[in-house]
Chains A and B, each alone.
Chain A
Amino acid sequence: MSFKTHCLAAVAALALMCGTAQAQTLRYANQGELKSLDPYTVNETTTNAHIGHPYEGLTARGKDLKIEPALAEKWEVSDDGLKWRLFLRKGVKFHGGEDFTADDVIFSAERVRAQGSNFTTRIPTSAKFVKVDDHTVDVVLTAPNPILNAQWDTWYIMSKKWAEANNAVAPTPAAATTPSYAALNANGTGPYKIESHQPGVKTVFKLNENYWKKIEGNIKEIVFTPIASDATRVAALLSGEVDVIEPVPIQDIQRVNASGNAQVLTGPELRTIFLGMDQTRDELLESSVKGKNPFKDVRVRQAFFQAIDIETIKSRVMRGLSTPSALMIAPELFPHAGFTRAKFDTEASKKLLAEAGYPNGFEIGMDCPNDRYVNDGQICQAVVGMLARAGIKVNLNAQPKGQYFAKVLKSGGYKTSFYLLGWTPGTFDSHNVLHDIIGCRDVAGSSRGESNLGNYCNKKVDELTDKILVESDTAKRDAMIKEAYKISVDEFGYIPLHQQALAWGVSKKVKLAQRADNSVLLYYATKE
């Protein structure tokens, strides 16, 4: 307020000064809202990126997504792989002034695994955190786990003292029925402090002058506003009301680039978009075929695969901004060498369908979100047209994500016959894909295959997946991963479509590094 008054009081001579100060304020608009500031409440890319400004983890991931030391300066793994020793950074302070010590790490390790946390998978339940001294912690495991710290960049460290003083020891559950201090306030060690937070309206971040490292960018203040409407968000960027927006609808990219005052940063995203088929029920929920499940026949799955003209989807629906994929994982995370997509061939599809006993095709229902992934509704519509030419009549049920997920996920009873979904492995590792998406979901009490909505299942893949988890020899591990992928590809267990593109709108005055996991991290930003 006082700053503003000064600006108002000052005349032309001082206006310049105010102008310079203004330039270090970066205004950022995202499609989604920042709901809770508690770092253990919602595990979702955009939220994690926001909270990664006031908070940070023991490790970080650089611009290339490589694991880097952060609050842990270094770590050593014992020969048997059962003990990890973490050496903590010294002299780091939380925003509230508390010193960062081993107690905070142990506290955070408990809190992140406590009831109500959405990040329990960050650390195995059986792992024990033992304090060696104020800046050394041992992690004791029951089984070797070479990817233990793969997701620690988004396991943010909280202050024990602060949490205890503010009755915030327990994580704020996603379904909190009482207000929580940690959801509205933040006290991390990160490069920015929360200046004010009005959930769903506006959040202001101020630079942490005492940050332990010099940040790359020069932004003193970040003003974050959610703008859900695509057109409004683009308009705000074009008119210069905001400096950075995410995402830019791909059809508007050209317009933004042509505007002269902003440009679009694009790049491949790690998320894989794919189609899944119900291969577990004996009769499909929504199909004209009665008494049997056509998707149990590999020829039908192949026919669906080959009916899809992925290149036209790429050029028309995605405006060139997608990477057709042969695998269920992005090439950045696992090399696609040796894998190619089965050729688009409507005639071959028809033939396969005829061989499988459906010379006239059949009718099937398809579930699709229409506000979750880039142009998801249009992709599904295109698929409907392509399958129609192979003789399959698809009844498309495209819905907002709330209703879509309620129907197709486990809690909804997997009520789908044919669906579109997207997946980014949280660990940036194939094990997650093989376990959660490709794994069989028939073992009760296991979380394997929980997001395998159509339950494609091959026990051989499961065996390999279990071996992959504990294998620390990279070459052997990769070979097994490749073998597992090959099995599922040969059986047409899924129809991977593409990796979608990132599209961030950035003012010409701003320079910003783009990370492939779609995290908008403004400590990389510089503004003239």
Chain B
Amino acid sequence: MLAFILRRLFQSLLVMLAVALIAFAMFRFVGDPVNQLVSLDTPQEQVAQIRKSLGLDEPVVVQFARYIYNAVRLEFGVSYQFRLPVISLLGERAPATLELAFMSALFSLLVGIPMGVYTALRRDSWLAKLFQTVSLVGISLPTFLIGILLIYLFSVTLGWLPSFGRGEVVKIGNWWTTGLLTASGWKALILPSITLGLFQMTLIMRLVRAEMLEVLRTDYIKFARARGLKTRAIHFGHALKNTLVPVITIAGLQLGSIIAFAIITETVFQWPGMGLLFLKAVQQVDIPIMAAYLILISFLFVSINLIVDLLYAAVDPRLRATIGAH
């Protein structure tokens, strides 16, 4: 088991290196950062000077090596747009994104799992059909449109909820700001969380339903029934428990989606998080921010994958044996 963990750690390191390479290679193509920094009438010598000062005239290999070296020291340079160290910008924005991601994940799980269970157990009830249809409508519209429709309804027409920003935030320590301690913070979280979580909710609901249906037909559930166990115990003690293994995997994988979709949600709601920062960075070709964001997200991801894999191994003894064998 230890060897397995070590091997996975080593692989993860390789992954991070690959991400860095891909990220770096990509940035060379996205656009020319210098053009963002100068106005139409900046003299040409000055443009060349800027290019030189950014090290953009050196060989690509040198640029990449320097990039890796700096990344290892968490040294992502200074944002071209803001002239602040990227790591502090990301640090400042991270709480907003993490809170949003957490709330929307919570929303999708708390709503998705019960809906999935219900639609599996009462497959033919009208409510189950309604759940399925409504959830499908939810994913049939693009995120940005859902967000704008929600704003239109709840902010403009009804005036209940704010259309942008985090509301009033409270600082906790040096690094964290939270909107969870003020009423306006909670209100501001509602629309973005729903917008972001709707899609995941549907996916989780469908997954839970499908898995439940599978499990309910297996022999040991039939056996449990035959033994005369209570339906409730069968459904929740056995069926749901067995359903949760793939749900763990998917929930882990969904984190990627949540963060990817947060880019759009944050854009629509002007949510001051990392996604908004990243999208702006892409538009403005702010290479240091893009680089740091990608590496950070990749790191988060690789860690989660590692944990999911370990959980998998812990949950399913057969898999553990297999993994151990190789």
Contacts and interface: CB of A to CB of B under 8 A. Distances in A.
Verify whether A and B have any Cβ pair under 8 Å: yes
Interface of A: 29, 33, 35-36, 38, 41-44, 115, 118, 120-121, 172-180, 183-184, 198-202, 225-229, 231-233, 235-236, 238-241, 371, 400, 402-403, 405-406, 409-412, 423, 426, 436, 447, 450-451
A176 B280 contact: no
Interface stretch (B34-42, B202-210, B212-220, B306-314): B34-42
Contacts of A180: 83
B35 A239 contact: no
Contact of A232 (B49, B81, B164): B164
Contacts of B84: 179, 183-184, 199
Contacts of B38: 118, 174, 411
A445 to B, nearest CB: 9
Interface string B33-53: 111111111111011011001
Nearest to B85: A179
A338 B85 CA distance: 55
Contacts of A226: 270
Contacts of A450: 40-41, 43-44
B162 interface: yes
Contacts of A43: 39
Given A175-B50, A239-B159, 20 more contacts: A35-B82, A36-B82, A118-B39, A174-B37, A175-B34, A175-B53, A177-B78, A178-B78, A183-B82, A199-B81, A199-B89, A201-B272, A232-B164, A402-B284, A403-B31, A406-B285, A411-B34, A412-B32, A447-B41, A450-B43
Please classify how large the interface on chain B is, using the bins under 10, 10 to 19, 20 to 34, 35 or more. Answer: 35 or more
Closest CB pairs A-B (n = 6): A174-B37, A235-B163, A199-B82, A406-B32, A183-B83, A175-B50
Contacts of B156: 235, 238-239
Interface of B: 31-44, 46-47, 49-50, 53-54, 77-78, 80-85, 89, 92, 148, 151-152, 155-156, 159, 162-165, 267-270, 272, 276-277, 280, 283-285
B121 to A, nearest CB: 40
A240 B152 CA distance: 13
Contacts of B42: 118
B31 A451 contact: no
Is the contact region of chain A dominated by helix, strand, or loop, or is it mixed?
A: loop
A166 to B, nearest CB: 14
Contacts, number: 150
Contacts of A41: 83
B267 A228 contact: yes
A200 B41 contact: no
Contacts of A121: 41
Contacts of B280: 33, 200, 228
Nearest to A409: B35
Most chain B CB neighbours (cut-off 10 Å) among A175, A199, A239, A241:
A175
12 contacts: A173-B50, A175-B54, A183-B84, A229-B268, A232-B164, A232-B270, A235-B164, A239-B156, A241-B163, A411-B44, A436-B41, A450-B41
B270 A227 contact: yes
B35 A405 contact: yes
Contact of B277 (A200, A236, A411): A200
A38 B81 CA distance: 12
Contacts of A406: 31-32, 35, 285
A229 B83 contact: no
A5 to B, nearest CB: 13
A371 B37 CA distance: 17
B50 A174 contact: yes
B277 A451 contact: no
Contacts of A225: 164-165, 270
Most chain B CB neighbours (cut-off 10 Å) among A229, A412, A451:
A229
Nearest to B273: A201
Nearest to A180: B83
B77 A177 contact: yes
Nearest to A406: B32
Nearest to B151: A235
B285 A239 contact: no
Given A35-B81, A174-B38, A198 B270 contact: no
B207 to A, nearest CB: 32
